[in-house]
Amino acid sequence: MACGPQAGPFVAEDYVPPDEVTHIVPYTRTKMEIERLLREQLPSLPLVVLRPSIVVGDSRFGCGPSYSIFWVFRLAQILEQFTYDLDDPIDVIPVDYVAEAVVHLMQKPVLRHDFYHISAGKQCASTFREIDRALADGFAVAPLGDRYRRASLEQITRRVLHIEGAFNPGEKRLLLKAIRLYGAFAELKMVFDNGRLLGEGMGLPPRFSDYANVCARSCDGIPMSMQMAADFK
């Protein structure tokens, strides 16, 4: 997301953001700024930039290493709504694939480019329909299917406030803050081209829908507030 929200929905690796970019959060703006400063102030530095997309869990260990971001998908299932459509592609990769890609590129004596996306891309992005089925398998519940609805941030906020029994008061306060942030990102429906990485001989990533059930089992029974702690310290 250092590319800025206006880059989508399919972000090519040769995309250059305009000089003035309005970012959703300062975090992504600082990513873009540090890349610019490194290139500008250290032109002789042999710099290679790797941008991962949405990193969720580990394809083998689920959320054992980190709960970060996974709770957003669990929340969408509990609420039966979020800001993406049921069949929108969602670009998610596991942390083990990110690590493998970094090592793969570092070990190559020559790289064709100085900038790469580590992402699911069009080939391996999962829809929420597919993710919903995997979560249902992991949590041993029925999938939402067509009960799921795309909703506005305002509708989701009302749902959190009025849903009974799913969250404690402290979780609701944190969720209202989180929905504004992650809901805004989800609305963008961005998928990131990974052609350069694949062209360097890296294999395709696991699809999130193929390991989301592992993530679900690894955090079943863990309070939502604890899952969110990785993202809201």
Residue ranges of domains in the chain? 5-228
Nearest to 54, CA basis, from 198, 185, 218: 185
Calpha distance 58→197 (Å, rounded): 20
**pLDDT(170) > 80:** no
Structure tokens at 197: 């990485």
The maximal CA–CA distance of the chain, rounded, in angstroms, is 59
**Range of weakest confidence among 15-19, 90-94, 120-124, 141-145:** 15-19
CB-CB contact of 110 with 46 (8 Å) = no
Task: Tell me the pLDDT tens digit for each residue of 2-21.
Answer: 888 888 789 999 998 887 88
**Does 223 have pLDDT greater than 80?**
yes
What distance in Å separates the CA atoms of residue 98 and residue 204, rounded to the nearest whole number?
11
Q: Are 178 and 99 contacting, i.e. CB atoms less than 8 angstroms apart?
A: no
Q: Provide, rounded to the nearest whole percent, the portion of the chain with pLDDT above 90.
A: 68
CATH number of 5-228, picked from 3.40.50.720, 3.30.43.10, 3.40.50.2300, 3.30.1360.120 = 3.40.50.720
- pTM for this model (two decimals): 0.92
pLDDT tens digits, 26-69: 888 899 999 999 999 999 999 999 999 999 999 999 999 999 99
Beta bridge partners of 118: 52
pLDDT of residue 19: 75
Q: Decide if pLDDT at 23 tops 90.
A: no
